[in-house]
Chains A and B, each alone.
Chain A
Amino acid sequence: MDAFLAQLWIARWPIFDGFLMTLGISAGAIVFGTILGCIVGIQLVFAPLWLRLPFRAYVDIMRGTPLLVLILAAFYIPAVLGLSLSAAHAGTLALGLFAGAHIGELLRGSLQAIPPGQIEAGRSIGLTFPQILANVLLPQALRISLPPWINTGVELIKGSSLLSMIGVGELLLKTQEVIGRNFMTIQFYVFAGVLYLVVNIALDLLGKSMERRLGARQ
């Protein structure tokens, strides 16, 4: 244990950097994914068929492909198309596109759970469609979506570990580098696991308490 603590002290900065990188990438991906997901979700419910189909295809492609494949594709494809993206940006893009599809699907479900009578009620008091969306539908749909949205955040933090395979210096890759120096395989993998656990359990608890509070209100 002492030997591990000594090594951990030596490795504290790389691991801390990796941890920050993991949080930063996940945060970037959830922001991008949420904006994208809101657009996708609304289109999936209200767009005319010709516009709905491409969004549906996007969601199905993202949800039918493993995250690792998306990450590898985002890493290799931009270069041959003449775009230059760093590995971290490519990885965040892949995570964000993945999250966008999941959040879009989530929001679609929440929007469809609202009784259609409310749209008609909104129309009959003279609201335009954007007003109905902003004042009637979205406040309710976003509230229903909140707990599973936090769950998507947990999935993103877990998924960000896959970026170690394209050489992004996040927590897992930094841990592997440290293990390469001191060969304390079990200790450092477990330590990385504990860091992931702490963040994810905190998010999980937040989601559960929100679920309870929302459940109580309905």
Chain B
Amino acid sequence: MNYTLHFGAVWASFDHLLGGLAIGLALAVAAVAVGTVLGLLSAFASVSKSRLLRGISGTYVLLIRNIPLLVLVLLVYFALPATGIRLDKYESFIGSLALYAGAYLTEVFRAGLLSVPKGIVEAGRAIGLTRMQTNLSVVMPVMLRNSLPSLGNTFIGMFKDSSIAAAIAIPELTFEARKINVDTFRVVETWTVASGLYIAACFTIAALLRRLERRFPKF
């Protein structure tokens, strides 16, 4: 074992790594934004009275949670064009990750919905709000606040999963790291720096989320 560390080759391409990190974060933000809409719809469906809606939501969660994300990404990217739907690689990856996030967020929001005290729903109905108004202005804010910690964890998970975009040649952090690795053969340095950047980003996001949680008191 006579390997000497030379970080110079990695620092020379550090801009690319940072750019890749930004792309990964952007992918995660877009996917979680779309996934939140999917997750909210699916969570309300999962607690609705209609059997059909509950069935659709349950099947969606079961299917997506038990398929590897990479299979989903490749299926959407390579197989969808055969059905006439053409997406570029960013759209296709954000779509796949959003589908994936939506399934996890369904469970997050479902738990949030079940945590809303019955009393405040009844209070909303009692002051004459319609069911829809109660859902929008009473249930939703409380549910979102109670789901915030899990929502944050899901976001961190999706940010880590954005590394899978390297499989369809999106130049995010893992893709750039692999490129530097192959170009320079500074193997240990490259992966240490790449992993360090991911960890730093995850911890920063987690710290920001904790601050956000403190700003809003829990119900």
Contacts and interface: CB of A to CB of B under 8 A. Distances in A.
A154 interface: yes
Contacts of A200: 65-67
A76 B185 CA distance: 9
Interface of B is mostly: helix
Interface in B67-85: 67-72, 74-75, 78-79, 82-83
Given A61-B195, A69-B195, A204-B66, A186 B174 contact: no
Interface string A184-196: 0110011011001
A158 to B, nearest CB: 4
Given A193-B67, A197-B67, A201-B62, A80 B74 contact: no
Contacts of B203: 64
A64 B200 CA distance: 8
Given A77-B188, A189-B79, A201-B66, A65 B71 contact: no
Nearest to B78: A185
Interface string B51-65: 000000000001101
A66 B75 contact: no
B164 A68 contact: yes
B188 A196 contact: no
Contact of A196 (B71, B164, B174, B198): B71
A69 B1 contact: no
A197 B68 CA distance: 9
B52 to A, nearest CB: 21
Contact of B68 (A77, A79, A158, A176): A158
Contacts of B72: 193
B75 A164 contact: no
A189 B71 contact: yes
Nearest to B80: A186
B117 to A, nearest CB: 23
* Most chain A Cβ neighbours within 10 Å, of B3, B67, B160, B203: B67
Contact of B71 (A67, A193, A201): A193
A60 interface: yes
A21 to B, nearest CB: 14
Interface in B176-212: 177-178, 181, 185, 187-188, 191, 194-195, 198-199, 202-203
Interface string A84-116: 000000000000000000000000000000000
B174 A192 contact: no
Given A66-B198, A68-B174, A172-B70, A190 B1 contact: no
A186 B82 contact: yes
A58 to B, nearest CB: 12
Contact of B191 (A60, A72, A165): A72
A159 interface: yes
A64 B68 CA distance: 19
Contacts of A196: 66-68, 71
16 contacts: A65-B198, A67-B163, A68-B164, A69-B163, A69-B177, A69-B198, A76-B187, A157-B68, A158-B67, A161-B70, A165-B167, A172-B68, A189-B74, A190-B79, A197-B63, A197-B67
Counting from the closest, the 10 A-B pairs by CB-CB distance are: A64-B199, A200-B66, A161-B68, A66-B163, A73-B191, A158-B68, A186-B79, A66-B160, A189-B75, A64-B202
